[in-house]
Amino acid sequence: MAEPLFELPRTGLRFDTRDPVLARAAWSRIAEPGDPVAGALVGHLGPVDALDWLVDAARDPERSGAALRRIGGGGLLGAGADPGAGSAHGTGAGPASGEGAASGANWAPARPTDAPGRLLGPVGEGPPVSGTRAAGLVAAAVRRWAPRLERLDPEGELAVLGRYGGTFLAPDDPRWPTALSGLGATAPLALWVRGDPDLARLAARSASLVGSRACTEYGIRVTRNLACGLADRGFTVVSGGANGIDAEAHRGALVSGSPTVAFLAGGVDRLYPASNTYLLLRAIEQGAVVSEAPPGSAPGKQRFLKRNRLIAALTAGTVVVEASLRSGALSTANHAAALLRPLGAVPGPVTSMASAGCHELLRRGAAVCVTDAAEAAELVGHVGESAPERRGETRPGDDLDAAGKAVLDALPVRRPAHERSIARVAGLALGEATGALGLLELMGLAERKDGGWRRR
C-alpha cells in the first residue's frame, strides 16, 4: 500500500460528508476553479460519492483507479474497466450537450483560451487522449487535491457566507444560470453569491463589458455610454469588478438604476480590489457579487483568468471595450468565441496601444465592430429581436437633478475644494451638496483629493 497523501483525523473529515450541500461546498475548496478533472468527477458521481472516492484514493493512491471503477466511475477514465483501452476526445470548451456534458466522461482537458493576450487560439477537438493518459490525469489530480482534505471546513465557510447575507448555489438550484453548462467539465462546482441569488433571471438578458485595468479617458467614456445604454435597454451588465473598464461598466449600470453582476477571483467576503469596495457594495445592493471560490479565498493571477470564463459563459455576448495585446480581457474574448457567443470589440485610435487588442480582434474578423449601446444591444439581443433604435450619445451626467448639476458646475478642475466651499458656490445646503458629491463620485465625475473634492 502506498503512503497516504494526507493525515486523516481519527474521527474522519470534520463534517457530514453525506450532506450534498456540504460535500459540494467542500469540493469548491478542494479543487481550483475550472479544474476539468474535478468537474468530470463530480458531474459523473455527484459531490458525495466523489468526496468518498477522493478520501479513499488519498489513503491509497495506487488503488484509486480501481476504487473509481468500483463505484461506477470507470467511464471517467475514458475506457471503462480497462484504463489502457480506448481514447477520449476533448474540446476547448468541454462538452456542451448530450451524455458527455452531464457526466463529464470521455472528456480530456484542453485550455487554449486561458492565457492572457492570446488571441483566439485554435478551438475544437483536441488530440486523442488514451485511457492510460486519462488515468494519469486523475492520479495527478488526487495528488494536488489531497493536501486540502485535512483542513476542510465547509460548515464554517457557509457560516461566513451567511453572516454576509449570502447564498450558496448548486447546479440543481432553480436560480442557477443554465448558460454556464456550456463550459462542460470546467463549469463551476458551486457559486457563492452576495446580493440577488437569482442568477438565472439576471442572466436571461445580459451582456458583458470587459477591458484593461490601465484604461484611457476614451475607454472610460465609451464604457460609461455602453453600460448606461445597455442598462436602459433592460440588460444586466456583467464584468469582473476590477479597476479600469470593469469598474466603469458596473458604475454605468448602477447609475442607470439597473442590476449588475461582478465576478470576483477571490471569496465574496474579500471585496477586491479594496479601492472598489463601495462600488461592489452597491453592486450587491442592486445586483450580485459572485465567486466560485469559497469565503477566505485570496485572488490570484490564475483565478482571475479562470474567472473570465464565467463572465463569457453567463452572458448572451461579450464586448471588449479597450484592451492591449497583452490584456487579460482577451482571455474573456477567447472563452466567448469558444462558446460560440457573440463577440464585439470597440475600435480606438489607431495610434493607441491601449486598443491594439481590440483592433487585432477586428482585423482577424473574430469580433464585430461595436461603437455604441445600440450596436451592442443588437449584437447580444435575442434571436428575432428587432435591432434597437439608434439614439444619440448617452452621457451619465445628462440625468442629474438640479442639485447634482449645480455641484458639478461648482467643482474645481485642479485644486480640491472643501465640501462647505462647494456648497456655498453651488448655492446649496451642506447636506444637499454632500449627497450630490457622493452620487457624482459613483458616476466617476468627481473624486476626493487631499481632503477636498474636484472634477475627475
Identify whether 5 is part of a domain: no
Look at residue 131 in the predicted model and tell me its pLDDT: 59
Identify whether 13 is part of a domain: no
- Backbone φ, ψ for residue 5 (5° rounding): -90, -5
Pair (337, 414) in one structural domain: no
Beta bridge partners of 211: 322
Residues in CB range of 221: below 8 A, 6 or more apart: none
Pair (210, 359) in one structural domain: yes
What is the distance between the alpha carbons of residues 46 and 220, in angstroms, rounded to a whole number? 44
What letter does residue 445 receive in the DSSP assignment?
A: S
Is the bond into 273 cis (omega within 30 degrees of 0)? yes
What is the distance between the alpha carbons of residues 261 and 290, in angstroms, rounded to a whole number? 7
Q: Are strands 236-239 and 206-211 parallel, antiparallel or unpaired?
A: parallel
Identify whether 320 is part of a domain: yes
Identify whether 119 is part of a domain: no
Whether 265 contacts 303, CB under 8 Å: yes
Look at residue 456 in the predicted model and tell me its pLDDT: 83
What is the distance between the alpha carbons of residues 32 and 266, in angstroms, rounded to a whole number? 11
3-state SS assignment for residue 199: helix
Task: Give start and end residues of each alpha helix (H) in 60-111.
Answer: 64-70, 99-103
Identify whether 95 is part of a domain: no
Find the largest Cα–Cα distance for the chain: 82
In which residue are the cell numbers 470534520 written?
14
Identify whether 84 is part of a domain: yes
Q: Is 181 exposed, middle or buried (0-12, 13-18, 19+ CB in 10 A)?
A: middle
Helix (H), strand (E) at residue 455: strand 452-455
In which residue are the cell numbers 487585432 written?
360
Pair (376, 404) in one structural domain: no
326 closest CA partner among 123, 119, 120, 122: 119
3-state SS assignment for residue 53: helix
Q: How far is CA 61 from CA 9, 38, 76, 131, 145, in A?
A: 18, 16, 17, 17, 12
Q: Are strands 87-88 and 129-130 parallel, antiparallel or unpaired?
A: antiparallel
What is the distance between the alpha carbons of residues 301 and 303, in angstroms, rounded to a whole number? 5
Per-residue pLDDT of the chain (456 residues; tens, 9 = 90+): 455 555 555 445 788 889 999 999 999 999 999 999 999 999 989 999 999 889 888 877 666 666 555 555 555 544 333 323 232 223 233 333 332 333 332 323 334 345 545 444 433 334 445 556 767 788 888 888 988 998 899 999 999 999 999 999 999 999 999 999 999 999 999 999 999 999 999 999 999 999 999 899 999 999 999 999 999 999 999 999 999 999 999 999 999 999 999 999 999 999 999 999 999 999 999 999 999 999 999 988 889 889 999 999 999 999 999 999 988 899 999 999 999 999 999 999 999 999 999 999 999 999 999 999 999 999 988 533 444 454 555 565 667 888 888 888 888 888 899 999 988 888 888 888 888 888 888 888 889 888 898 988
Look at residue 130 in the predicted model and tell me its pLDDT: 53
Identify whether 111 is part of a domain: no
What is the distance between the alpha carbons of residues 101 and 93, in angstroms, rounded to a whole number? 11
Residues in CB range of 83: below 8 A, 6 or more apart: 65, 77, 131, 132, 134, 135
The C-alpha cell of 21 is what?
Answer: 450541500
Q: Of 352, 380, 408, which closes a domain?
A: 380
In which residue are the cell numbers 445597455 written?
230
Count of domains in the chain? 3
Q: Of 78, 112, 146, which closes a domain?
A: 146
- Domain span holding position 407: 400-455
Pair (248, 366) in one structural domain: yes
What is the distance between the alpha carbons of residues 198 and 40, in angstroms, rounded to a whole number? 25
Pair (287, 349) in one structural domain: yes
